[in-house]
A and B are shown apart, each in its own frame.
Chain A
Amino acid sequence: MKQQEIEKAKEYKYGFTTDIESIRAPKGLNEDVVRFISNIKKEPEWMLKWRLKAFSRLKNLKEPDWQKPKFPKIDYQDLYYYSAPKSVTDTPKSLDEVDPKLIETYKKLGIPLQEQKKLSGIAVDAVFDSVSVATTFKGELTKKGIIFCPISEAIRNHPDLVKKYLGSVIPITDHYFATLNSAVFTDGSFVYIPEGVRCPMELSTYFRINASETGQFERTLIIADKGSYVSYLEGCTAPMRDENQLHAANVELVALDDAEIKYSTVQNWYPGDKDGKGGIYNFVTKRGACRGKNSKISWTQVETGSAITWKYPSCILQGDNSVGEFYSIAITNNHQKADTGTKMIHLGKNTKSKIISKGISAGFADNTYRGLVKITSKANNARNYTQCDSLLMGNECGAHTIPYIENKNSTANIEHEATTSKISDEQLFYCNQRGLNQEEAVSLIVNGFCKEVLQQLPMEFAVEAQKLVGISLEGSVG
């Protein structure tokens, strides 16, 4: 390896590509491609119709352009919308049928796909480019009546649930990227937790973009029936490529009466190189509906990757006494940009929401918190607490906080706090004087800054996330 490549590999250790034969849809975005995807997924007619409806709506929509990070126009005709390893086009029945090369890839990424590794106690669904390659612990979950499978499988095997809930939180006409996703989504995870069941393990999906010039459009749908509980985690990585790759996912959560969904994300897509070349455009729509009374949805996100992160995991607090939470760490280094936050829409009575956002900006990066707290006229006694903290490292980066508050109810109680601080030379010197080097010191201080959010992550991932926080900022202090 050339010195330069070694340096590069150090920066982003997931940047390798897997040399694997793949099947692709013809390049470009048109009705035939939508049909191709539906066909290769062996979808029923109703699903194809749904996709085509989205596709026809797409023609009348324009990309939104109010976001802070601007980017060159995306040529949607120059992308592949479907790419799958040849060996899994017929969904494998068990792990033994999965291409060993794929298993190897996930091993490299530290994702255990072997069910023997019971110790890890996490059920994993792995999505490689456009298809789900393996879902672990299926047997154990089935016993409890839990459905955890690729969404393509759910469309075939659980059509009633999918028909009822797909698009019920994010309508197909919501906005350009959500509609695009509805037309061409390829795979993702489906979770259904039956009434009164507490999911006994973390459910996790691991997304990997491998193919070049390929967009990833996954779709996740999680339904927690009455009185159930589930904790779900997604992780993502991609190879280092000089071009920008588009990732436009839709995630819908539905919590019925007394149900709780905890959704955690550790996003580490390729951020581009030091000069801002390449990297993923992470334009994701995530929305949860607290449809039942006393329901709760909690989003936790650790966003360290991507060239541009543009997302607002939101909660629609429909049910009385429902609770929405958003805990976020967004780290941008070098030329990365983020415009992220949440929307808390209070519709029901006594609904509560809490927003804790930690933005960290280093290098030439730009980090924006944008959030909406909306309290409607019927949402009596609604409460919101928002705290937005920004940490700056160096003099070339930026941090912005743009909170929107719309209140139509005089009984509401809304609190907003915001701080901006810098890592001081004094703090670094103090740590150095106690034997820590610069990177250890930065990692320690930043992890301290993010503590309230890191605490929300499932234990198994908190340690990983802490390390990631340190790694993402390596070299950011001279």
Chain B
Amino acid sequence: MLDIKNLNASIEGKKILKNFNLNIKPGEVHAIMGPNGSGKSTLANVLSGRKGYEIEGTVYYEGKNLLEIPIEERAQKGIFLAFQYPIEIPGVNTNNFLKTSLNTIRKFRGLKELDSLDFLKLVKEKSKKLKIEEKILSRQLNVGFSGGEKKKNEILQMSILEPKLVILDETDSGLDIDALRIVSEGVNSLRDKNRSFLIITHYQRLLDYIKPDFVHVLVNGKIVKTGFSDLAQELEKDGYEGVSIAK
């Protein structure tokens, strides 16, 4: 599904990712853990197409050169980024935004666009399942949302848009335990053999709820260690310092 080879990314002349390699197969859940400044968010940004990076190396997504695909087309092709800091867009109704987004993506996939009635039905069903209050959707997009509400909104969008590759960029940061559970259950309910996840996190606690297939440790722009989900616990105990030295 996703094949990253020798990826180098710099911003304003500063090298962030250095010869980064990663391969994700359909249905796999990968967690990337690392200290602040290790390049975690840069990875999410490069994959989703945010501008401002100088990039070398190759990234293939479903056999296509991802780096040549415009941002919106990446989204239409099934890449979903759950933002670390979802942005506020005043005046734009959340439901309306999501409906526009869903229909753009459906159109791209050759599916019929949903009318308002069908859309609302879908939203009702999904939000009930995720135990997310539907009423946040009638508010302006992310405006005045609490940190938890913003993240829940991302998860609800994810479940409605049904992406193929989900990138969670520190979705767990700033969440209380209840919100964390809702977010994790949202992710778990979407796990299936065709959908892959790249979970970027600073802390191990999210991985108590979402069991990844692989855990990678990112230090200084490089993966220094890869293991199974028990690696996360190890990290919690020894810290990133320990891991990078052990290598």
Contact = CB atoms under 8 A, between A and B. Distances in A.
A434 B91 contact: no
A445 B80 CA distance: 20
Interface in A11-55: none
Contacts of A424: 87
B89 A451 contact: no
B112 interface: no
A426 B85 CA distance: 10
Interface string A411-429: 0000000000000111101
A445 B100 CA distance: 12
Interface in B151-203: 157, 161
Nearest to A423: B89
A436 B91 contact: no
B87 A433 contact: no
Nearest to A449: B91
Given A425-B51, A429-B71, A444-B92, A436 B87 contact: no
A440 B71 contact: no
A201 B140 CA distance: 33
B162 to A, nearest CB: 12
B141 to A, nearest CB: 8
Nearest to B96: A444
A444 B97 contact: yes
B218 to A, nearest CB: 22
Contacts of B80: 433
B93 to A, nearest CB: 8
Contact of A445 (B74, B92, B105): B92
B8 interface: no
A196 interface: no
B180 to A, nearest CB: 23
Nearest to B107: A435
Interface residues of A, number: 23
A436 B92 contact: no
Contacts of A426: 87
Nearest to A454: B91
Nearest to A438: B72
Interface string B67-86: 00011101110001101001
Interface residues of B, number: 31
Contact of B91 (A431, A435, A450): A450
B100 A430 contact: no
Given A435-B104, A436-B100, A445-B89, A430 B83 contact: yes
B57 to A, nearest CB: 22
A448 B92 contact: yes
Contact of A433 (B81, B90, B92, B100): B81
B220 interface: no
A425 B87 CA distance: 10
B75 A434 contact: yes
Contacts of A434: 75, 97-98, 101, 104, 157, 161
Contacts of A449: 90-91
A376 to B, nearest CB: 35
B228 interface: no
Nearest to B86: A430
A448 B140 contact: yes
A434 B79 CA distance: 9
A298 to B, nearest CB: 21
Q: Which 7 pairs show the lowest CB-CB distances between chains A and B?
A: A448-B91, A448-B92, A434-B101, A432-B71, A435-B75, A435-B104, A451-B91
10 contacts: A429-B71, A429-B87, A432-B49, A433-B74, A435-B161, A445-B92, A448-B90, A448-B93, A448-B140, A449-B90
Interface of A: 424-427, 429-438, 440, 444-445, 447-452
Given A424-B87, A432-B71, A440-B104, 19 more contacts: A426-B87, A429-B51, A430-B83, A430-B86, A430-B89, A432-B70, A433-B72, A433-B75, A434-B101, A435-B76, A435-B101, A435-B108, A444-B89, A445-B89, A445-B91, A447-B91, A448-B90, A448-B92, A452-B91
